[in-house]
Amino acid sequence: MPGSDGSTALGRGVREALSGMRGAVREHVPLAPLTHLRIGGPADWFVEPSGEEDVALVVATCRELGLPLYLLGGGSNVVIADAGLRGVVMQLGSLGRIAREQHRVTVGAGVSLPSLLRATKEAGLAGLEVLTGIPAQVGGAVAMNAGTRDGETFDRLVSVTVVENDGRLAERGKDQLTPRYRDGGLGAAVVVQATFELTPDDPAAIFARFSASLKARNATQPVSQRSVGCVFRNPPGDKAGRLIEAAGCKTLQRGGLSVSARHANYLVNDDTGSAAEFRALLREVRDRVRARFGVALEPEVKFWGFDDPELPPGCLDFGRS
C-alpha cells in the first residue's frame, strides 16, 4: 500500500536493502536515451553501483526480493518495451578502470569499447582493432562475444571477473567458458572485469588497421542512424542481410521503423518509432525470409519486457546456478 509519500512497501524494501550500496539508486528512470535505438519506457529502479562488491549486493538483493534484474551495457543491442521495465536495471558505468601489465590489459565492464581501443592503440598494443566500430561496453562485448568478420571479443580474452547469480564474486579463465557466435556463454553471471592479452605493435600500424575497418563500416552500414546493428544472426554458411534483401524486404516499414536501404539486416528508427513497431517489422522480415527460403532467422538483438511467449524475458535468470 502506498505510504504518505507515495512509496510502496516493495519500494521501501528496495531502498532499505540497497542502503549499503555505494552508487546511485533512482526511481522511474527513462531508458530510451540510454539505448542506441532511442526506444523504450522507464525502469522502476535504476542503479549504478560504484564497485564490484556493490554489484554483488544488487544481485543478492534482487534475488532475495524476487525482483527482475536487467543488466544494461552500452544499450546497443537491446529493444526495451514501450511500457518500460518492472524491476531493477543496473548499469556499470562506474567500473571504468583500465590497467596495464606488460601486454595484458585489465578493464572494468563499464569501459566503452571505443575508449579501450583508443587506449590500447596509444599504448602500442594490437589485437582489439578487429572490434572497431562496435558501440558496446566491455561487459556487453564479452556477454555477446561481439565481433566482426576479422575476429571476436574472445580471441584475446584471458579471463573475466564475474558476479554469479547468487551474489558471489568469481574469476573465470577462458578455458572455463564456452563462447559461441555472438554469445559469451556466461549464463546469468554479471561481468565486472575482463583481461585481454595483446601484441606489441607500432601505434601507426594499429591506427591504419583501425581506420581501414572504420572506412569499410561507414561505406556499408547505416552507422549514423538509430539501430541495434544487425538484428539477426547470420545462419550457417549464409548472410542474414543477403536473405532479407533477396526476400524483397528492403522497402518494408512499420511506423518509424524501416529496413535500412544500406544494409538489410539493420532496422532503423527515424526517431518516431516504438518497440511494438520494431517487433512487428522484425516478425514481418523473419516470416518473409522463411516463406521464400525456408530459413528460420534467429534474432541477435535482445528484447526486454515484452509480454510475448516467443521472447525470453531478458532479465537475469536466478533459477540457474
Ligand X SMILES: Cc1cc2nc3c(=O)[nH]c(=O)nc-3n(C[C@H](O)[C@H](O)[C@H](O)COP(=O)(O)OP(=O)(O)OC[C@H]3O[C@@H](n4cnc5c(N)ncnc54)[C@H](O)[C@@H]3O)c2cc1C
Minimum CB separation of residue 258 from ligand X in Å reads 16
Name the grid cell of 177: 567458458
Residues facing residue 108 across a β-bridge: 193
What is the spatial distance between Cα 142 and Cα 139, in angstroms, rounded to a whole number? 5
- Grid cell 553501483 in the structure block, residue: 49
Q: What span, in angstroms and rounded, lies between the C-alpha atoms of 54 and 59?
A: 9
Which residue's CB is nearer to ligand X, number 125 or number 144?
144
Q: Which amino acid is at 312?
A: P
Neighbours of 136 (CB within 10 A): 25
Q: Which is nearer to ligand X, 13 or 32 (CB)?
A: 32
State the amino acid at position 135 in one-letter form: P
| Smallest gap from residue 44 Cβ to ligand X (A) | 17
CB of 6 to ligand X, least distance (A): 30
User: How far apart are the C-alpha atoms of 199 and 112, rounded to whole Å?
Assistant: 20
Name 267's bridge partners. 259
* Beta carbons of 70 and 91 less than 8 angstroms apart: no
Q: Which is nearer to ligand X, 157 or 186 (CB)?
A: 186
User: What is the smallest separation between the CB atom of 2 and ligand X, expressed in angstroms?
Assistant: 31
Cell of 237: 554458411
Minimum gap (Å) between residue 301 Cβ and ligand X: 8
Closest CA to 253 of 278, 233, 230: 278
Report how far apart the first and last C-alpha atoms of the chain are (Å, whole number).
Answer: 34
Helices within the chain (DSSP H only): 9-17, 52-65, 113-122, 138-144, 203-220, 240-246, 275-293
Q: Residues in the site for ligand X, rule: CB under 6 A?
A: 36, 71-78, 92, 109, 134-137, 139-141, 143-144, 146-148, 182, 186, 190-191, 223, 227-229, 302
Comparison of 169 and 287: residue with beta carbon closer to ligand X: 169
* Residue number with CB closer to ligand X (79 or 289): 79
- Minimal distance, residue 66 CB to ligand X, in Å: 19
CB of 47 to ligand X, least distance (A): 13
C-alpha of 267 from chain center: 17
Choice between 143 and 177, CB closer to ligand X: 143
Please give the residue whose beta carbon sits closest to ligand X in the complex. 140
Written as nine digits, the cell of 41 is 519506457
C-beta closer to ligand X: residue 16 or 238: 238
